[in-house]
C-alpha cells in the first residue's frame, strides 16, 4: 500500500479497536451505575460521574495504545516479512499480534457478576412481595431479558464460542447475533429504558400537548 493509504487504513483500524473497547466498557459503566442504584453508593455523589467518563472513554486507551505500538513494531511490513515489502494495514489474519485487543474479557466477566448479583436482589424483592406479585417468576424473566442488552451479557457467551469452535450453521448464527446485538444494543436500551419508561412517556406527552397548543 502507498504510505498515505496505509496511514488512513491504520487510523481506521485503531479507531475501530477503540470503539469496540469503549462499547464494552460502557456496558460496565451501565452495570455499575444500576448496581449503585439498587445496592447502594459505589462512589461519592461528588465525583462518580467523572469516574464513569474515565472508565468508559479512558480505559480503552490503556489497551489500544500498547496494541498500536505492538502492531507498529511487528507488522509494519507485508505478510512475507521482507523489510522492503509493502506497508501493511494491520489486518493480517496470520499476524503475530492479535487482530483484536484481547481485553474485553474482563469487563464482560465483571458485568456477568454484577448481573447475577442484581438478579439475586430482584428475586429477593419479588419473593418478599410475592402476595402482591403472583407472577413474580414472569417478572424475573422479564427483568433478566431486559438486562441482557443493557449489560452486554451476550458477549460472555460469545467469548467461549470462538471462531475455531464454531463452524457451519453455528458460526453463521454466532455472527448474526453478534452483529445484530452489537449494532442495535443502543436502540434496544433506548426503547427499554427510555421510551418505554412511564416518566419519559409522560414528559413526551406533555411536550406534545404544549406543541399542539402553541400551533
Domain boundaries, the chain: 1-84, 130-214
Stronger pLDDT, 132 or 27, i.e. the higher one: 27
What mean pLDDT do residues 194-208 have? 85
Confidence of residue 153 (pLDDT cuts 50, 70, 90): confident
Confidence of residue 3 (pLDDT cuts 50, 70, 90): low
Q: What is the mean pLDDT of the chain?
A: 75
Give the whole-angstrom CA distance, residue 205 versus residue 198. 10
Q: What are phi and psi of 64, to 5 degrees?
A: -70, -40
CB atoms within 10 A of CB 18: 19
- pTM strictly above 0.75: no
Q: CB under 8 Å to 98, separation ≥6 — which residues?
A: 67
Give the whole-angstrom CA distance, residue 49 versus residue 53. 6
Query: CB-side exposure of 109: number of CA atoms within 13 Å?
Result: 6
User: Residue 17 has which C-alpha cell?
Assistant: 479497536
Question: What's the CA dihedral at 187, 178, 157, 22 to 10 degrees?
Answer: -60
pLDDT, one tens digit per residue, over 5-58 is 778 888 888 898 898 888 888 888 888 888 887 776 545 555 678 888 898 999
DSSP string spanning 60-85?
HHHHHHHHHHHHHHHSSS-TT--TTS
pLDDT, one tens digit per residue, over 94-109 is 444 444 555 555 787 7
Amino acid at each position: 500500500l502507498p504510505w498515505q493509504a496505509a496511514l488512513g487504513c491504520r487510523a481506521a483500524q485503531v479507531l475501530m479497536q477503540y470503539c469496540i473497547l469503549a462499547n464494552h466498557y460502557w456496558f460496565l459503566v451501565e452495570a455499575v451505575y444500576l448496581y449503585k442504584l439498587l445496592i447502594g453508593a459505589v462512589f461519592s455523589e461528588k465525583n462518580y460521574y467523572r469516574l464513569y467518563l474515565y472508565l468508559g472513554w479512558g480505559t480503552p486507551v490503556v489497551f489500544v495504545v500498547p496494541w498500536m505500538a505492538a502492531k507498529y513494531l511487528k507488522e509494519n511490513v507485508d505478510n512475507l516479512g521482507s523489510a522492503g515489502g509493502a506497508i501493511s494495514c494491520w489486518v493480517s489474519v496470520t499476524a503475530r499480534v492479535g487482530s483484536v485487543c484481547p481485553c474485553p474479557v474482563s469487563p464482560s466477566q465483571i458485568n456477568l457478576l454484577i448481573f447475577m448479583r442484581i438478579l439475586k436482589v430482584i428475586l429477593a424483592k419479588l419473593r418478599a412481595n410475592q402476595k402482591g406479585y403472583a407472577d413474580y417468576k414472569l417478572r424475573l424473566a422479564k427483568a433478566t431479558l431486559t438486562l441482557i442488552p443493557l449489560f452486554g451479557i451476550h458477549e460472555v457467551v460469545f467469548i467461549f464460542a470462538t471462531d475455531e469452535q464454531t463452524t457451519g450453521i453455528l458460526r453463521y448464527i454466532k455472527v448474526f447475533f453478534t452483529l445484530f446485538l452489537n449494532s442495535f444494543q443502543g436502540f434496544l436500551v433506548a426503547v427499554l429504558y427510555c421510551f418505554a419508561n412511564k416518566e419519559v412517556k409522560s414528559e413526551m406527552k406533555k411536550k406534545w400537548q404544549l406543541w399542539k397548543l402553541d400551533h
